[in-house]
Amino acid sequence: MAESARVVPLRRVTQPGKLQPQASPQQAPAQEPLWREVLGRRLRALRQDQDETLAETAGRAGLSPQYLSEIERGRKEPSSEMIAALAGALGTTLTELTEQVAGDLRRQQALIRLAQTQTELAQTQQAQTQQAQTQQALAPQSRARLSGPVALAA
């Protein structure tokens, strides 16, 4: 009898190339992007900055345009040899490309932290508003009790 495995996706894909967290922002923190996604975006930006087609860049790097497209979309995790070949085909070095990708990751991480801080601030403000509304709702009841005959006798 065949065994079955339970597969838990890391992220839900809603549209090709557009990844979103599986849970809502209040339930789970924003996810850090994957290296291959950031690398792919950087490679595409470098290629487009040079007004090159997938076929031109792929041909110089020694891989198929389809495979380069998958790398640029963050679908494939290329080997270090492939990344070096792509860097060379795009007129940069592996070191420069790595530094650019690391910078992109740092910027995205800063945006994630900012979004988390804003979410926490909004939640704190919402809790404070709810607490103030609760106190206001209870205040007339407290005043009514104090203004009754017992309060006047005191």
Domain ranges (residues) in the chain: 32-143
**What are 25-56's pLDDT values in tens digits?**
454 556 888 999 999 999 999 999 999 999 99
Mean pLDDT value across residues 131-151: 68
The per-residue pLDDT for range 115-136, each reduced to its tens digit, is 889 989 999 999 888 888 888 8
- CATH superfamily name and code, 32-143: lambda repressor-like DNA-binding domains (1.10.260.40)
pLDDT score of 23: 46
Q: Which of 11-20, 60-69, 112-121 has the highest mean pLDDT?
A: 60-69
pTM above 0.85, yes or no: no
Residues 6+ apart with CB under 8 A from 32: 105, 108, 109, 112
Return d(Cα 62, Cα 66) in angstroms, integer: 12
Backbone angles phi, psi at 119, to 5 degrees: -65, -45
Q: What is the DSSP letter of 14?
A: E
